[in-house]
Amino acid sequence: MASNKLARTNDDIQRVLSNLLTQVKDPRVQQGMISVTRVETTGDLRYSKIWLSVFGMENEKEFKRGLKSASGWLRHEMGSILNLRYTPELVFEIDHSIEQGAYISGLIEKLDTGSGEDEA
């Protein structure tokens, strides 16, 4: 379990990166609506794993390349905003849970529309 200080650091990184990702000018990154869903930082603050959910992503491979290209700038800007001993190296992962939830919700909606006719 993460300590309170590490949990606050994760929250701060999530908040700052949410704002910074909207400022990235690389068109590969600006493919849709980006949300930072979770951040996990190692105890020594060397690495941060960032989970991103992108609604309306066109090409996942190009999106990841754009993130890798922009990670140096994001790390530099994050380091200037947050006062940390070390600015962690950013490792990005794509979180597909929101898309999967929307798909399952759509399937349930289709099932619900057919069940109301039998009761009448």
Kindly list the structural domains of the chain, giving each domain's residue range(s) and its CATH number in brackets, ordered by start.
4-115 (3.30.300.20)
Mean pLDDT for the stretch of residues 93-110: 85
pTM metric for this prediction: 0.77
Structure-token match 């992962």, residue found? 93
Q: What are phi and psi of 118, to 5 degrees?
A: -70, -25
Q: Which of 19, 31, 23, 21 is nearest to 92 (CA)?
A: 21
Residue that wins the pLDDT comparison between 102 and 37: 37
Distance CA 54, CA 57 (A): 6
pLDDT, averaged across the chain: 86
Could you write out the DSSP letters of every residue in 29-95? T-SSEEEEEEEEE-TTSSEEEEEEEEET-S-HHHHHHHHHHHHHHHHHHHHHHS--SSPPEEEEEE-
Q: Which segment, 45-49, 83-87, 93-97, 113-117, is predicted with the most confidence on average?
A: 45-49
